[in-house]
Chain A
Amino acid sequence: MDTEVGTRPDGQEARPTRAGRLRALLSAENVIAVVLFVALFYVPYFLVGFPVYVLPQYMLFGVLALTLCLLWGFGGMVSFGQAAFFAIGAYALGVTLRDVGGPTAPWLGLLLALGLGVVLAAVIGWFLFSADVRDSYFVLVTLALSTITQVLANSESQLTGGFNGMFVERVTLPFGVVDVSLAGDLAAYYVIFAFTLLCYLLFRYIQWSAFGRVLVSIRENEDRSRALGYNTALYKTVAFAVSGGVAAVAGALYATDAGFVSPTLGGVLFSTSVVVWVAIGGRHYFIGALIGGIGISILSQTLNARIPEYWQLLLGLLFVVAVGFFRRGIVGTILELPGRMRSRRG
């Protein structure tokens, strides 16, 4: 170690300048996000019919991917159970609408979904993380969670409609002065668009916040963070609870938008899909997860009509490739290309 080194680099402004902050704001990641959301916003202007009908569902899948991204990409915890929260939220709204009814039922249903998601995740999370269980146990428990959710949804037909599923109407959300009905596809589209945008901003805020940075440090070296004074079990639990809650609300919105909830929505296969989306899209960037969720869903929709078996096989192979060799996913690799080229040259 050169003990003479450590002089302040010449002419370098130590404090973040306005120009620096602007550059950060206009990062490639943010540009991609703006492009995506603008494109999504204008879809109903250029396309009618099926795209406007189905895209809200895919946007909600994207939100589901966002929740996994927080857990996995930032917190280092792979969950094979996000679909379980999605389904629980969906059923929560469905059951509330059916058994409670009335104009406030939609809000109650959404609130119930949020509550169930947060509480279930918090309880399970705290139970596991406070004992410092190894990663593979967490995977196993979330896997079991999906299995149990699907199996229970199937068997409790009184509550959930069982194997045949549950039909859910398009709700009307009372906002005090005005009622927003989701009955029309256009209204549903923009309400869900707004929700998706809000979720994306929420997760980006978390990423920027102290909580988000500490969460990343826990992923990088949990022992070190713990030995710096952080109650890492608490951080992981909160991350899990946030993910569970948002996933559940997304599921509730899905229920009313798609109109139908079935037990497979909460099962292992769907949970797996979420992991695949985030792995291929990019686990270290929320926009990567979002694009992965929405993009792959769109591709699946179009390609499933023509080459269903081969498409799923291709997805499986892409997943193996992404996890094994391209950890950053498609979006991540693209975003980090300039940096890697620069460091290779420099």
Chain B
Amino acid sequence: MAELLEVQGLSKSFGGVQANEDVHLSLAEASVRCVVGPNGAGKSTFVSMLSGHTVPDAGSIRFRDRDIAGWPAHKVAKAGMVRKFQRPSFYPDLTVAQNLEIPVLATGRRRGRVGEAVRDVAEQVRLTDALDVRAAHLPHGRTQWLEMGMLVARDAELMLLDEPTAGMTPEETSATSRLIETLVRERGISAIVIEHDMSFVRSLDSEVTVLHLGRVIAEGPMSVIERDEQVRAVYLGQEVT
């Protein structure tokens, strides 16, 4: 079976700085991959190239067997790979229901089915009680879930989650890890998760790709990664988790 996502030789430099060099990654359906690495490792650039916000200098990104490298952001999202940004990005002055409705409208559902889809997603991200609340009034953790809900509402096949637990309490973080697992299990969604929080990465129990200075230095299950000498060296002085 062909992989959902197949990245080969992805490279990008900005004015002399090699942000990504020969990055590779493959991801199957209904699975999760974490991408970690110290600051400046090139994680954001990598995600940007996947989502279509940055054009790669070289390499290929095959999504469902189509090379989408260099595609504009809206085309990539339409193809099924949708990004949750690092900074909060939703519609603050619209209600939660309206926020979820926008991505649903892009799925081509009939008018009558839209409300149903909205309620369905809202239930999954525990926002049923807040459907008529203006999104700006939600506490931070719930807005993160709202944003993930928007990805689900979009019928995303692959979620690009850029630091989804930033600013969350430990309880919220573990709840998020369970949410991602549920989404993968119940809806068959795949996810690439950029993260700094190692306990969160561990709780996801997935394959991990470690970036350092724009290159992939290690790849594999967390247990193996943790013991990798090079990874430990790179992370020396970083978070102690």
Contacts and interface: CB of A to CB of B under 8 A. Distances in A.
Interface of A: 1, 3, 5-9, 14-16, 210, 213-214, 216-217, 220-221, 223-232
Contacts of B101: 213
A229 B115 contact: no
B105 A15 contact: no
8 contacts: A3-B171, A6-B126, A14-B119, A227-B53, A227-B82, A228-B74, A228-B82, A229-B82
A9 B129 CA distance: 6
Contacts of A8: 123, 128-129
B175 interface: yes
B33 to A, nearest CB: 20
Nearest to B122: A6
Interface in B62-83: 73-75, 77-78, 82-83
A43 B126 CA distance: 54
Interface SS of A by simple majority: loop
Contacts of B77: 226-229
Contact of B106 (A5, A9, A229): A229
A220 B129 contact: no
A93 B51 CA distance: 48
Contacts of B78: 229
Nearest to A221: B91
Contacts of B85: 223-224, 227
B154 A6 contact: no
Interface stretch (B138-146, B197-205, B207-215): B138-146
B106 A220 contact: no
Interface of B: 51, 53, 73-75, 77-78, 82-83, 85, 89-94, 98, 101-103, 105-106, 115, 119, 123, 126-129, 139, 141-142, 145, 150, 154, 168-169, 171-172, 175
Contacts of A210: 105
A225 B89 CA distance: 10
Contacts of A216: 94
B37 to A, nearest CB: 23
Contacts of B129: 5-9
A230 B129 CA distance: 28
Contacts of B175: 1, 3
A14 B139 CA distance: 24
A229 B154 contact: yes
Of all A-B residue pairs in the complex, the 8 with the closest CB atoms, nearest first, are A6-B126, A1-B141, A229-B78, A229-B77, A220-B91, A217-B102, A210-B105, A3-B175
A103 to B, nearest CB: 42
A217 B73 CA distance: 16
Nearest to A15: B115
A15 B105 CA distance: 18
Given A5-B126, A214-B102, A224-B91, 5 more contacts: A214-B106, A228-B82, A228-B102, A229-B77, A229-B154
A66 B51 CA distance: 37
A223 B73 CA distance: 9
Contact of B92 (A9, A214, A220): A220
Contact of B73 (A1, A6, A221, A227): A227
Contacts of A228: 74, 77, 82, 102-103, 106, 150, 154
A64 to B, nearest CB: 27
Contacts of B92: 220-221
Contact of A6 (B74, B115, B128): B128
A221 B90 contact: yes
B192 to A, nearest CB: 15
A231 B98 CA distance: 19
Nearest to B150: A228
Contact of B74 (A3, A15, A231): A231
A213 B95 CA distance: 12
A286 to B, nearest CB: 18
A6 B98 CA distance: 18
A220 B93 contact: yes
Nearest to A8: B128
A229 B71 CA distance: 12
Contact of A7 (B75, B103, B128): B128
A9 B94 CA distance: 21
A9 B141 CA distance: 21
B102 to A, nearest CB: 5
B76 to A, nearest CB: 8
A125 B92 CA distance: 27
Nearest to A225: B102
